[in-house]
Structure 1
Amino acid sequence: MASAQVTGTTAERSRTPVCTGPHSRARDWAEIQERMLVPLYQAVYERLDVGPATSVLGLGCRSGLALLLAAERGAQVAGLESDTELRELAQGRRLQVQEESRTAESVARSAHSVVTVFEQLQTAPSPGRLVTAAARRVLTGGQLVLATWGPPERCESAAVLEVAQRRAGRTPGRDPFALGAPGRLEALLTTAGLRPAGGGRVSCPFAYADPESAVRGMLSTGLFDPAVAESGQALVVKELEEALHPFVRPDGSVRMANLFRYVVGERVN
């Protein structure tokens, strides 16, 4: 089994220009950004006692670090990911990750005891439809986990994410904080036929070796894609660098305190 050990060494490599291609974005997610959410993944697995008796399905699992962490706890894991580059990175970690659009029906027939939606809600055009589809993949007695950003006033990255909203212009851009208000995630679970069963808030600091790594990491989230399409890569990068400036430390590293929120829904019948 591939190890899920995460270190900062990949983010500390020598500076290179910010690249625009999907392969480089996928690599930046896997090597820089994905590790920022490890506290969230671990908190959820601790709460649900994920272990050898658990079957975990990750929806929108990206390059698969969350699944690796579940596998290291003994769980049986599988994932769905629509992005080809991210999916190939996950498969390179010897994970069973399939293309979401082509496998949804077959995966639905083999339900899981835990289904996670860690990142997908932030960019989903229809969160309600996504959660309803996810709920169908949960075994009776199983749980669906939804996660999103916490309140913007508790997330220092909100000042940076504002660039994505402002520069998207007429291009539809999803507000990453839209589902963070109290009751919003619970309402999605209820509408999907699940019973809300609590949740939690988790501190997930975003820490980077330098501003260049921070720019690459933030761009890899996909939240800036509409802004890049509307305003161009160069302008978005320039404004990202300016927005990150207050969070640069004396040693040149970048750190932003953030709070993420998750809720658990149970399938009772």
Structure 2
Amino acid sequence: MASASVASTTVGAAMGTDGGTAGRTRAWQRARDWAEIQERMLVPLYEAVYDRLEVGPATSVLGLGCRSGLALLLAAGRGAEVVGLEPEAELRSLAQDRSLRVLSDVYRDLSPETGAGTGAGAGAGARPAAHSLVTAFEHLSCTADPLALVRDAARLTAPGGCVALATWGPPERCESAAVLGVARRLADPLRRDPYAPFALSGPGAVEQMVARAGMRLVGGGRVLCPFAYSDLESAVRGLLSTGVFDAAADYSGPRQVEKEITEALHPYRREDGSVRMLNVFRYTLAERIPERIPERSR
């Protein structure tokens, strides 16, 4: 999608300032850390949404910001037709290695007639095929313009189809809140878009965006998603792979960020060395109203 609303939060920092071999190596390592360590933490959320919507062979799923594709893989296992959008090349490659169809730009890469890849030759006004379910499981809480993302999701949904939006639950129900606070505390205090993971956790926040995007609220729920790691090192690597600490690392240095993440994790370390934090995630389901077509975000 052309909109910056679904751009990966990890692209810039993952590539590194040199943009060369070292930067690419870091990007690949972080993508693997996401796929091997962090991605599974939200499986209860994915499954809850799919169960609620009875995702199956009749469902066409588009995953916005699908990263390495586990949510799509689970939907495909239920018989759904799936396609994903992931701007970050390394994550997209890992998803494609799972035999998933994952694109870098929905408007550029989908033909409005057939849904087939058309590459850079597609016109700027091309409209991709609509889907019966569009998901935004990870990006809504960290994008700079969540309303633009919701509007884009609505536009890509078939009339009468559904959009699933996920956010962190209330901070008092999320043991990872203290760790996430490192991202804000160590970032540039003058940064225009500081990371605020719980900005959309309050009552009515997502619902207001749903209404402004021309959709109708049809349900939602809360899901317990434990963040469980075999050891402290895995926990740090997994959390860093999310990209939410990038601005903090740029401003305060990677070592300081890793040090403070490690300190914040200590209360959740168990006797066997593993780390476990209980978190609640919230999902909101909205229906695309047939007579309302939101403008495409720019």
TM-score by length of 1: 0.90
Report if the CA contact (8 A) 2:107-2:128 is conserved. no
Alpha-carbon separation, structure 2, partners of 1:47 and 1:104: 30
Given the alignment, which residue of 133, 144, 161 partners 1:114? 133
Contact 1:82 1:101 in 2 (8 A): no
- State the 1:42 CA deviation: 0.1
1: CA distance between counterparts of 2:278 and 2:220? 20
Query: Within the alignment, does 1:231 sit opposite 2:231 as a pair?
Result: no
Distance 1:268 1:236 in 2: 44
How many angstroms apart in 1 are the aligned matches of 2:209 and 2:110? Answer: 21
Q: 1:91-142 CA deviation, whole Å, 9 max, x = no partner?
A: 1111000003763774742000000000011221111111111100100110
Unpaired segments of 5 or more residues in structure 2?
1-23, 116-126, 291-298
Identical pairs, percent: 62
Partner of 2:153: 134
Q: SS at the partner of 1:95? A: coil
1:212 to 2:217 alignment: no
Aligned to 1:49: 54
Runs (4+) of structure 1 moved beyond 2 Å?
100-109, 169-173
Q: Does 1:67 align with 2:72?
A: yes
Taking structure 2 as the reference length, what is the TM-score of the superposition? 0.82
Alignment map for 1:239-254 (pairs within 5 Å) = 239-254=260-275
Matched with 2:93 is 88
Map 1:135-214 → 2, pairs under 5 A: 135-170=154-189, 171=191, 172-214=193-235
Q: Residue 39 in 1 paired to residue 55 in 2?
A: no
**Matched pairs, number:** 251
Greater CA drift, 184-193 or 168-177 = 168-177
The aligned counterpart of 2:281 is 260
| Structure 1 unmatched runs, 5+ | 1-18
- 1:48 and 1:85 mapped to 2: Cα distance? 30
| RMSD between aligned residues | 1.5
Query: Are 1:36 and 1:207, in contact at CA under 8 Å, matched by a contact in 2?
Result: yes
Does 2:102 match 1:97? yes
**Stretch moving more, 238-247 or 181-190:** 181-190
The question of whether the paired residues in 2 share the 8 Å contact of 1:20 and 1:233 is answered with no
